Structure 1
């Protein structure tokens, strides 16, 4: 079952966000300690008005347990939603002069992090979450859903292409190389 997230989901969703981000989560936390990265995203998931908030998250529940999540928001609001996160990183994580490139833009609904618990992967949950993100996008009136995929993540790239996403361009983001992919909401999911 897919549902809107709530603050009580913070522990598992923070872990899912860190899993989805990989090295990026450690760069944000300015630490190689997974507990620091998880704590950072637990905090922001519990708060309102930021890109990692429960307000911008759907979760997949299986037998009462959250086993997957998708975090998404209006690309036009990226800088507004990112501001509290960056301010916190500067103040609490020692990331002075840290200004990541924009990973999204106005005119698209950005699917930021999509993750499924390792023991539940391969069961179609990720695909259902992506479909829910696309439907959420269309319901809000967006013509495009977008995401970034690491150029080295061939499995995810194949899945997104199979689901109807197209590579629009390539982008650098915090030192990594990514495909910026678009799903046109005029297409059936």
Structure 2
């Protein structure tokens, strides 16, 4: 079953987010170890109007347990969604120069994060979550959806290609090469 996320999902969802985001999660939370990063992800998940908010998420459930998540929003909202995170990082780190790298384009609905528990991999949950995000974007009147995938993540890259996504660009994010993939919906 796929449903809209709730604030109460935070504890179950934060490890899934961390699994998908890795160094990006560390940058977003300012955490220096796994415990701090997970706490930061839980914090942002429960808050409104930020990129990691439950408001932007759908959850896949099996046997009453959250086993997958997709985070998506329109690219034109990205800067606004990052403002609270950036401001908190600047305060905590005492560094006014902190910025977040641009991921989403202004004219696209953007899949920020997709993660499925390894115990449930290969069961089509990721594909269903992507389909849910695509349908959600269409209902909001959007015609293009996009995502970034680390070029080293061959299985994810293959899945997205199979689902009709095409690479249009390559960029660097936290020092790693990422493919920007798009799909007309």
66-75 vs 97-106, greater mean Cα deviation: 97-106
Give the aligned length.
185
Distance 1:166 1:93, change over 3 A: same
Q: How does 1:85-104 map to 2 (within 5 A)?
A: 85-94=85-94, 96-104=96-104
Checking the alignment, whether the CA contact within 8 Å between 1:100 and 1:173 is kept in structure 2 is no
2: CA distance between counterparts of 1:59 and 1:94?
Answer: 35
2:105 aligned partner: 105
1:47 aligned partner: 47
Checking the alignment, whether the CA contact within 8 Å between 1:100 and 1:174 is kept in structure 2 is no
Offset of residue 93 of structure 1: 4.4
1:67 aligned partner: 67
Offset of residue 174 of structure 1: 2.4
Offset of residue 27 of structure 1: 3.0
Checking the alignment, whether the CA contact within 8 Å between 1:20 and 1:113 is kept in structure 2 is yes
Offset of residue 120 of structure 1: 1.0
2: CA distance between counterparts of 1:66 and 1:146?
Answer: 24
Q: What TM-score, normalized to structure 1?
A: 0.93
1:146 aligned partner: 146
Q: Secondary structure at the match of 1:106?
A: coil
Q: Secondary structure at the match of 1:20?
A: helix
1:25 aligned partner: 25
1: CA distance between counterparts of 2:133 and 2:25?
Answer: 22
2: CA distance between counterparts of 1:18 and 1:92?
Answer: 20
Q: What TM-score, normalized to structure 2?
A: 0.95
Q: Secondary structure at the match of 1:181?
A: strand
Q: Which runs of 5+ in 1 are unaligned?
A: none
Checking the alignment, whether the CA contact within 8 Å between 2:59 and 2:68 is kept in structure 1 is yes
Checking the alignment, whether the CA contact within 8 Å between 2:18 and 2:25 is kept in structure 1 is yes
Offset of residue 172 of structure 1: 1.4
Q: Secondary structure at the match of 1:72?
A: strand
Checking the alignment, whether the CA contact within 8 Å between 1:107 and 1:143 is kept in structure 2 is no
2: CA distance between counterparts of 1:43 and 1:127?
Answer: 27
2: CA distance between counterparts of 1:128 and 1:118?
Answer: 16
2: CA distance between counterparts of 1:98 and 1:115?
Answer: 27
Offset of residue 91 of structure 1: 1.5
2:9 aligned partner: 9
1: CA distance between counterparts of 2:154 and 2:71?
Answer: 21
Checking the alignment, whether the CA contact within 8 Å between 1:30 and 1:95 is kept in structure 2 is no
